[in-house]
Amino acid sequence: MRAGKPALFFFIVFVRAMRVLRPGEMSSSESQADRTTPREIEPISDDQMVEYFDLYVQTYRKVIERYFHPFREYLSFYVNYPYLTTLVRSGPSGVMCFRKPAEVAQTNVMLWSQLPPGLSTFFDIRDHFDAPFATFDFRPRSYRPTDAEIEATRAALNHALELFWDVIEQEKFTSVCQALIQAEGIEITTDDSVDGVGFNAVGRLVLAEFGGFRREERWAFRFHHHKSSRVSAQVIRDAENEVQNSDYDVLCLLTSGDLTSIGNYVSVTSEKVRIWDDAVLNYLVNRHVSVIEPEFGGYAEALARLDEEFRLRGGADYDRVKEQLESCPTGQRHFAAYEEIGTEILRDLFAHTLGPARPQPSSHDGVHRRDVLFRNTQGSAFFRRIADRYRSDFLVVDFKNYGRALPGATLESAAKYANKALGMFILIVSRRGAAQGSRSAQIRLFRDEGIVVLSISDDHLLEMVARKERGEQPEDVLEDLLDELLIAY
């Protein structure tokens, strides 16, 4: 044995708390940050509550009658109207809504303290009111009429999709599943050799990690058409055991049914299993609506028309943001106000896809001052893309409160914020966006230094807000601008 310094052995114990987050779901840290962020809202009156919930039903019925008239008799929330609605309020904006069929539509409001003794849970209260349709929401919110229209429209579209999943045949369900996987950018194989191992399709994914690493995984896919049944924990456990004994890293089960509560828990705590149930399939259909068009053209048409209608009208957040931007003057004197407004808009837009905002840090030497940094948690395909291709561990945002379009020199100046630590992707937020002549500067920066500088305007911010209100991905606006730059290059 060699003499010298004693060997040091480090034993590191990792406590695994792996959890897969479903689309739109917050992590524990994000949820904690969301709870601790102060939110000021105006007191909600009983009249506002009644107006919101009555308008919700009216809007829902209008959308069904206008776009899904042939299917209305199969939609229980439509056919059981009118309703006796009871709103049980708790706190400034918390409310439970209980609806049951009645001869005449009527809405009553009461406080939690006015409930009969012994009703301690939501389900107890639902049974007390004999309400087949019941919801609750205790988030701080405003209950504006436009919120009711947007949420009711989204519910009508989701109910139409649920009906579609119920009636679609297995062969067509398989075709839709394959198309959705491919629309997500996954190259799959569906030949006879796949069937031999019991899977409907297999594919490879390349996922970005920290430090510039990339991870390649082999995924297997199976399509289960559960028309009216739920996916149990046992089905998921069987899938987990099966993939453990295979050469694949993950087994993804696509099902038209929804998950039981236990099944949902298993699906998000297993490293080897992903479940794309009806809620996830609905999410994917709305991202890639052309996939469903051959089988359900009426849905694609309805979504396109409603998309245009809400884009022209704007929604609750859209109106608020538009008012904020229009009331903020241009110029250096009002820069801080514009930066604050813009940061809040981006924080709301990407609450589930980026980390918290870090305003006004400076580089180590104090030379380069970046207005805002957002940690790139890669919560969507676009942010994974820029992390993978441009090493963007952070989204660097530079605000300019100019009253004119930005010249190419301003884009070149902002490019100085890019570096190996933060990444090579910079976003400039300015009132008028970039001037037409700035494209050459963007191309030169990308060609010579590998730096992507995108510039968005107030109009782009409003478009992203409108997209989020419609249930779409706001970052699609950024992806379009990035694609335009790459095509021009």
Structural domains in the chain plus CATH codes? 46-147 (no CATH), 169-294 (3.40.1350.10), 314-488 (3.40.91.30)
- Going by the DSSP 8-state scheme, the letter that residue 392 receives in this structure is -
Burial class (CB in 10 A: 0-12, 13-18, 19+), 478: buried
Q: Are 236 and 273 spatial neighbours (Cβ–Cβ below 8 Å)? A: yes
Please give the torsion angle defined by the CA atoms of residues 461, 467, 468 and 473, in that order, rounded to the nearest 10 degrees. -100
- Model pLDDT, residue 147: 80
For residue 133, report the phi and psi dihedrals to the nearest 5 degrees: -120, 115
Q: Which residue has the tokens 């479940």?
A: 275
Residues 295, 291: Cα–Cα separation, whole Å: 8
Query: Mean pLDDT throughout 79-87?
Result: 96
Query: Mean pLDDT throughout 94-109?
Result: 96
Lowest mean pLDDT among 15-19, 178-182, 280-284, 382-386: 15-19
- Model pLDDT, residue 224: 82
Q: Which residue has the tokens 């009111």?
A: 129
Q: What is the pLDDT of residues 195-211, one digit of tens each?
A: 445 788 899 888 777 77
> What tokens does 59 get?
């809007």
- Model pLDDT, residue 167: 87
Q: Are 117 and 124 spatial neighbours (Cβ–Cβ below 8 Å)? A: no
- Model pLDDT, residue 460: 93
Q: What is the pLDDT of residues 448-461, one digit of tens each?
A: 999 999 999 999 99
Q: According to DSSP H, which parts of 39-130 are helical?
A: 46-67, 76-79, 122-129
Name the amino acid, one letter, at 113.
S
Query: Mean pLDDT throughout 293-319?
Result: 75
Asked if pLDDT for residue 410 goes beyond 60, the answer is: yes
Q: Are 391 and 212 spatial neighbours (Cβ–Cβ below 8 Å)? A: yes
Q: Are 64 and 154 spatial neighbours (Cβ–Cβ below 8 Å)? A: no
Please report the beta strands in 322-424, taking only residues with DSSP state E, as ranges in sequence order.
Answer: 357-359, 372-375, 394-400
Q: What is the pLDDT of residues 222-252, one digit of tens each?
A: 888 876 566 667 777 777 788 877 888 888 8
Q: Are 371 and 401 spatial neighbours (Cβ–Cβ below 8 Å)? A: no
Q: Which residue has the tokens 């570096």?
A: 419
Residues 339, 431: Cα–Cα separation, whole Å: 11
Residues 92, 45: Cα–Cα separation, whole Å: 9
Asked if pLDDT for residue 365 goes beyond 60, the answer is: no
- Model pLDDT, residue 227: 62
| Cβ-based neighbours of 247, under 8 Å, separated by 6 or more | 218
| Cβ-based neighbours of 488, under 8 Å, separated by 6 or more | 439, 442, 443
> What tokens does 239 get?
């899938």
Residues 105, 299: Cα–Cα separation, whole Å: 29
> What tokens does 341 get?
């407004």
Average pLDDT of the residues of the chain? 82
- Model pLDDT, residue 9: 45
Residues 480, 437: Cα–Cα separation, whole Å: 19
Residues 471, 287: Cα–Cα separation, whole Å: 9
> What tokens does 245 get?
């004994």
- Model pLDDT, residue 5: 44
Please report the beta strands in 161-231, taking only residues with DSSP state E, as ranges in sequence order.
Answer: 187-189, 201-208, 214-224
Would you tell me how many other CB atoms lie within 10 Å of the CB of residue 47?
A: 9
User: Helix 458-469 to helix 476-488 angle, to the nearest 10 degrees?
Assistant: 130
Residues 268, 401: Cα–Cα separation, whole Å: 43
pTM for the structure as a whole: 0.62
